Amino acid sequence: MQTVVSGIRPTGNLHLGNYFGAVRAFLEMQHQYDCRFFIADWHSLTTHPKPEDIQRNAETILAEYLACGLDPEKSIIYVQSDVPEVLELYLYLNMNAYLGELERTTSFKDKARQQPDNVNAGLLTYPTLMAADILIHKGEKVPVGKDQEQNMEMARKFARRFNTIYGVDYFAEPESFSMAGKGIKVPGLDGSGKMGKSEGNCIYLMDDEKTISKKVMKAVTDSGPTEPNQEKPEVIQNLFTFMEIVSAPETYQHFDELYNSCQIRYGDMKKQLAADINAYAAPIRERIAEYSSDRELLRRVAREGAERARIHAQRTLAEVREIIGFRPR
């Protein structure tokens, strides 16, 4: 069975875009692959060097993923900082990573522009830490979006370079596992094409019924169709796409017919959509609350996940040390 490795940044709560995108893809993967999912708390320090409560943030993300259906019996789920072997491999990879190639990465240049007063070494060497996260498990597939593809190419480069320098065929080059087709793109309710934290247009899994209703009722619309069967503009198509995701087919068909006959009332549609979103999210919200209230359970899941992850990590690191020429521990 192939090994899949994926990191989850502990910044902010999960929203419906996350759920219908990456999370549901992860739920499918855990039945098909040997999955290692980790909460990337070290990575978060590159942009949040003073997290208010990094442990609590990690527990919150863990509770949300468990509530969505990620199963610690089927996958290894752990917190990145609980597997210190990653840092030693990160060191070895950094010794063979070159300043020029790290400075040319798009993610580094973008972040350096966004935070000019905090261009830290961790930001520069983000690709090597990401490579260490993958290679410590000899990961073969990594679910990534387009924004991480360059960093994945760097991970493959570091694997090749290690093999070349030490004359071995040890690390396989990890493949990017495209999320395209694995999840549903959830539109933003502000008229934009995608729901995202940076856009400020999210409906979070933890949002209560009142909050969901308020957000949906503020959704951008137009003055309504003026001709039968006219093409829907993007802001209206976004509402229908959302309804297609969370509502019953007959509900979608009902409002589609009203639109095509120029009889639609967007207020009625929004009320129905808010009710359907809440009906979909309510069971997940309840499970999140249950998991979040049991910190001992969350810590046990993280601890057991780290123990399992470290078995693989220690084996890899022992072999890497031997290849490089260091004494065994």
Structure tokens belonging to residue 204: 């979070």
How far is it, in rounded angstroms, from Cα 132 to Cα 155?
8
Of 194, 210, 214, 218, which residue is the catalytic one?
194
How far is it, in rounded angstroms, from Cα 326 to Cα 329?
9
Would you state the torsion angle of the CA atoms of residues 102, 82, 143, 98, taken in this order, to the nearest 10 degrees? 10
How far is it, in rounded angstroms, from Cα 82 to Cα 136?
13
Of 111, 141, 215, 270, which residue is the catalytic one?
111
How far is it, in rounded angstroms, from Cα 313 to Cα 235?
48
Among 199, 200, 202, which residue's Cα sits nearest to residue 186? 202
**Would you call 194 a catalytic residue per the annotation?**
yes
Of 138, 157, 197, 271, which residue is the catalytic one?
197
Helices (H), 83-183: 85-95, 99-103, 106-114, 121-124, 126-135, 149-166
Query: 233: helix, coil or strand?
Result: coil
Place of tokens 């210190």: 84
Q: Which residue numbers are catalytic?
A: 111, 194, 197
